[in-house]
Structure 1
Amino acid sequence: MIHVDKVTLAALAGTTLMTAFSYGAARHQRKQFREPELLNKLLDRLPGPQSIPTKSPAGWLVHYGVGMLFTTAYDQLWQRNIGKPTLANGLLLGTISGLIGIGGWMLTFKLHPHPPKTDYTGHYKQLLLAHMIFGVGAALGYTKMKRLPVNRQI
């Protein structure tokens, strides 16, 4: 069984921290490392009549959706007592997720008919660090959810 509340909070925490890091790295290095905007560019450049602006919510939905998928996988590992949601395990899972994410982006850029020009090597380096931050944020969010009351009345 998936712990939806824990997974949702963990995904929101991890993805938000990761995205903040990516936006900061993009600004600092003056490169396009902002995942939601890159996703929108990829969607916009697909063949067909669609026009997806850089600031469209579509890229954000895809980005946070992938965060939910990764966090659901973490939840399943933790429920099976394969590790615990600790900082160290979050860092390890974030590193593994980063390598998977890099593979996904590489495949996407390779298969896409009109991929955007970007510093691919720089993007992959920051993506690994961003996913490490994601893993730590997801572990912290998951742990915090365990401490919140289940049936809180307002």
Structure 2
Amino acid sequence: MIQLDKVARAAITGTTLMTAFSYAVSHHQRKQFREPELLNKLLDRLPGDQSIPTKSPAGWLVHYGVGMLFTTAYDQLWQRNLGKPTLTNGLLLGTISGLVGIGGWMLTFRLHPHPPKTDYTGHYKQLLIAHMIFGMGAALGYNKRKKLP
């Protein structure tokens, strides 16, 4: 059974840390690696009359939703005693998730009718590291216990 409170806490922690890293790298390198904004550009450039601003919440919802999917998978592994939610295992799962994420972004950019221009190689490199941070953050969030007053 999915432990929704732990999964949500892990997803929020991991996705927030990952996104902060991506925003910092984007700022430092002056490149567009910010996942929610890239997702909004992809949505905006789909055929149709929709207009999705770069700062729309849609990209954030998709981004955190994918974080929930990854942490749900982590939860199932951890509940089946296929590893424990440690920083080391979080790093390992984050690395695997990063490779899956890179594959997903590559496929999305390849299949999209009008993908945004970005430094794809740089994006994929930072994405792998961002997912490593995600995995460790997810493990931390999963383990965090709520303190009662």
CA-to-partner distance for each residue in 1:8-29, whole Å, 9 max, x for gaps? 0000000000000000000000
RMSD: 1.0
3-state DSSP class of the match of 1:63? helix
Which residue matches 2:90? Answer: 90
Which residue matches 1:63? Answer: 63
Tell me, yes or no, if structure 1 residue 40 matches structure 2 residue 40.
Answer: yes
Q: C-alpha displacement at 1:100, in angstroms?
A: 0.1
Tell me, yes or no, if structure 1 residue 114 matches structure 2 residue 114.
Answer: yes
3-state DSSP class of the match of 1:32? coil
Instruction: Give the number of aligned pairs.
Output: 149
Aligned equivalents of 1:56, 1:141: Cα separation in 2: 26
Unaligned runs of 5+ in 1: none
Counterparts of 1:24-39 in structure 2, within 5 Å, are 24-39=24-39
Aligned equivalents of 1:96, 1:31: Cα separation in 2: 24
Q: Percent sequence identity over matched residues?
A: 85
Aligned equivalents of 1:124, 1:95: Cα separation in 2: 12
CA-to-partner distance for each residue in 1:96-117, whole Å, 9 max, x for gaps? 0000000000000000000000
CA-to-partner distance for each residue in 1:22-71, whole Å, 9 max, x for gaps? 00000000000000000000000000000000000000000000000000
Q: Normalising by the residue count of structure 2, what TM-score does the alignment of the two structures yield?
A: 0.98
Q: C-alpha displacement at 1:148, in angstroms?
A: 2.4
Which residue matches 1:138? Answer: 138
Q: List 4+ stretches of structure 1 deviating above 2 A.
A: none
Unaligned runs of 5+ in 2: none
Q: Normalising by the residue count of structure 1, what TM-score does the alignment of the two structures yield?
A: 0.95
